[in-house]
């Protein structure tokens, strides 16, 4: 019997890579649900390859367009992730990939846990804002969780259930983005085109901007703290221009282990599905890079958003939701040419470290609605702040 698979965000970067991997193993897998925001032409093509009967289109206009345009196809179109609870039985799904972007990815992440035997989550908002809720459900339903970001999957593969008390420090690496070698970032005119020109990874616009500011590494440190149940003082960031080494762990016994591979998301995705069961054709060992790793500590003057990590609370709180919301808001303003790159960084840092926001470090996460309502509240406050000026 074929193993059932769900891919949320199947038309995005990670979603397409996941889908293409399953295409090479059609005899073993049956994709039973795909989702997209607006790319209905792509998701229809995907559905035909696997004869997928359930498609979620989250954009209302595109959903209505799809229902009319493809009404003759034997496909059920949905406009909400709520359908997951209705059409699938518990533990019916072998593997679920959650690669959608934004706070709205938290609800389907939670819904898929008790439907899935294995769940891979790329949605940062889920792992940062809602980890407390996710962890509780993972334990309750005995669901296997696999982190997919290259850094976290690398850590995951090294640790392999080792006790955290054996860890001295972990290091996650960053290419440094397009501005690593800029001597004084704040004296240069930064265009959208320059900020999106990532030197090693091919990613969407939002994550590319976060990579250029190193805010993505701030988020990845929070994720690592949550996933591996560590304290922030044990997690460090190193810049590494070649993006070949993804994670390093220094153990208390003096041993140091690291994971290296080409900067290709197919590698962690493939291993999250097959582990060592089926070999992955990959490039040969790159000795030129290994002999010139160029690992360095982060320059906080160059990447000031990393200062936020000094203020992170010990336990999961609403502050993480505020941080996600503030960053998303100002990155969106920059991408829509409403503020400069430098002003984007200044405003993210200023508001994230303001007394009005820092006070939420003391407010613990209770449920999904609390997170979603707080996200809306912070967004509204930011709207008022922007339009006031």
Question: What digits encode the pLDDT tens for the residues 373-385?
Answer: 999 999 999 998 8
Same domain for 164 and 125?
Answer: no
* Across 37-41, 49-53, 191-195, 278-282, least confident range: 278-282
Average pLDDT over residues 32-60: 97
List pLDDT tens digits, range 170-213: 999 998 888 888 876 665 688 999 988 887 777 778 889 999 99
- Mean pLDDT of all residues in 74-90: 94
Q: Which domain holds residue 123?
A: 3-147
Q: Give yes or no: residues 300 and 346 share one domain.
A: no
Residues 14-36 have a mean pLDDT of 96
* Domains in the chain, number: 3
Domain check: are 56 and 167 in the same one? Answer: no
Question: Quick one: 182 and 303 in the same domain?
Answer: yes
Residue 72, token pair as written in the block:
């003759």
Closest among 129, 183, 185 to 318, alpha carbons compared: 129
- Which helix (H) or strand (E) segment holds residue 357: the answer is helix 355-358
Confirm whether pTM is higher than 0.85.
Answer: yes
The residue to which tokens 């979620």 are assigned: 56
Does 372 share its domain with 335? yes
Query: Domain end: 312, 327, 355, which one?
Result: 312
**75-99 average pLDDT score:** 95
Check residue 228 and give its pLDDT.
94
User: Which pLDDT score is estimated for 29?
Assistant: 96
Q: What is the pLDDT of residues 206-249, one digit of tens each?
A: 889 999 999 999 999 999 999 999 999 999 999 999 889 999 99
* Beta strands in 240-280, from DSSP E residues, in sequence order: 245-251, 256-260
pLDDT digits (tens, 9 = 90+) for 340-354: 999 999 999 999 999
Phi, psi at residue 149, to the nearest 5°?
-50, 140
* 64-73, 102-111, 172-181, 278-287: least confidently modelled range: 278-287
Beta-carbon count within 10 A of 9 CB: 26
> What's the confidence (pLDDT) of residue 156?
92
Question: Where among 277, 312, 347 does a domain terminate?
Answer: 312
Q: How confident is the model at residue 159 (pLDDT cuts 50, 70, 90)?
A: confident
SS3 53: coil
pLDDT at residue 389 in the model: 41
Q: What is the pLDDT of residue 281?
A: 73
**Distance (Å, whole) CA 262 – CA 273:** 18
Examine the domain organization and report whether 335 and 282 are in the same domain. Answer: no
Report the chain's terminal Cα–Cα distance, integer Å: 61
Give me 239's structure tokens. 């810049």
Tokens found for residue 76 = 């059920």
Same domain, 269 and 338: no
Of 219, 225, 217, nearest to 167 (Cα)?
225
43-47 mean pLDDT: 97
Query: CA-CA distance, 85 to 83, in Å (whole number)?
Result: 5
Region 150-163: mean pLDDT is 86
Three-class secondary structure of residue 270 per DSSP = helix
Q: What is the mean pLDDT of residues 250-261?
A: 92
What tokens does 188 get? 């240069």
Q: Both 160 and 129 in a single domain?
A: no
Q: How far apart are CA 170 and CA 159, in angstroms?
A: 11
- What b-and-e string marks burial along 193-230, b requiring 16 or more CB atoms within 10 Å of the CB? eebbebbbbebeebbbbbbbbbbbbbbbbbbbbbbbeb
Last residue of a domain, one of 105, 126, 147: 147
Least confident among 121-130, 192-201, 368-377: 192-201
Phi-psi region of 254 (alpha: psi -120 to 50; beta: other; left: phi over 0): left
| Same domain (yes/no): 323, 174 | no
Contacts 24+ apart (CB under 8 A), 289-294: 289/242, 289/244, 290/244, 290/260, 292/242, 293/240, 293/242, 293/244, 293/245, 294/239, 294/240, 294/241, 294/242
Strands (E), 75-124: 76-78, 93-98, 116-121
Helices 40-50 and 60-69 cross at an angle (nearest 10°) of: 50
Considering the domain architecture, whether residues 171 and 240 belong to the same structural domain is answered as yes
Better pLDDT: 293 or 32: 32
- Does the structure show a pLDDT above 60 at 388? no
pLDDT reported for residue 185? 63
Neighbour tally for 358: CB within 10 Å:
14
Q: Answer whether 246's CB lies under 8 Å from 151's CB.
A: yes
Q: What are the angstrom distances between the C-alpha of 111 and each of 30, 116, 283, 376? A: 20, 9, 37, 21
Residue 85 has a pLDDT of 92
Q: What is the DSSP letter of 102?
A: S
The reply to whether 154 and 73 lie within a common domain is: no
Question: Rounded to an integer, what distance in angstroms lies between the CA atom of residue 122 and that of residue 149?
Answer: 7
| Closest-CA residue to 70 (of 57, 83, 80) | 57
Do 270 and 349 lie in one domain? The reply is no
């Amino acid at each position: 019997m074929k193993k059932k698979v769900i891919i949320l965000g199947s038309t995005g970067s990670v979603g397409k890579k996941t889908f293409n991997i399953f295409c090479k193993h059609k005899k073993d897998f049956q994709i039973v649900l795909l989702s997209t925001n607006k790319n209905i032409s792509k998701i229809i093509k995907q559905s035909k390859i696997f004869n997928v009967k359930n498609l979620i289109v989250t954009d209302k206009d595109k959903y209505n367009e799809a229902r009319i345009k493809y009404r003759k196809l034997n496909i059920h179109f949905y406009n909400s992730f709520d359908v997951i609870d209705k059409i699938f039985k518990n533990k019916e799904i072998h593997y679920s990939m959650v690669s959608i972007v934004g706070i709205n990815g938290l609800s389907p992440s939670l819904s898929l846990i008790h439907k899935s035997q294995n769940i891979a989550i790329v949605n940062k908002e889920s792992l940062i804002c809602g980890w407390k809720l996710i962890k509780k459900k993972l334990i309750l339903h005995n669901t296997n969780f696999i982190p997919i970001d290259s850094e976290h999957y690398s850590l995951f593969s090294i640790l392999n259930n080792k006790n955290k008390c054996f860890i001295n420090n972990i290091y996650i690496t960053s290419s440094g983005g397009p501005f690593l070698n800029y001597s004084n970032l704040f004296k240069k005119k930064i265009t959208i085109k320059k900020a999106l020109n990532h030197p090693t990874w091919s990613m969407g616009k939002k994550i590319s901007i976060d990579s250029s500011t190193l805010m993505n590494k701030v988020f990845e440190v929070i994720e690592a703290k949550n996933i591996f149940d560590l304290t922030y003082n044990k997690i460090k960031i190193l810049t590494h221009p070649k993006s070949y080494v993804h994670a390093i762990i220094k153990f208390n016994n003096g041993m140091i282990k690291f994971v290296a591979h080409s900067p290709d998301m197919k590698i962690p995705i493939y291993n999250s599905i097959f582990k060592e069961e089926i070999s992955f054709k990959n490039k040969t060992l790159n000795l030129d890079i290994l002999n010139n790793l160029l690992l360095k500590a982060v320059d906080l003057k160059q990447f000031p958003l990393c200062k936020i990590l000094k203020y992170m609370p010990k336990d999961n709180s609403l502050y993480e939701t505020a941080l996600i919301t503030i960053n998303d808001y100002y990155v969106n303003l920059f991408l829509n040419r409403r503020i400069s790159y430098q002003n984007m960084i200044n405003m993210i840092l200023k508001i994230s470290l303001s007394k009005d926001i820092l006070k939420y470090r003391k407010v613990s996460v209770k449920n999904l609605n609390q997170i979603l309502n707080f996200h809306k509240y912070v967004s509204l406050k930011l709207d008022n702040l922007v339009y006031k000026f």
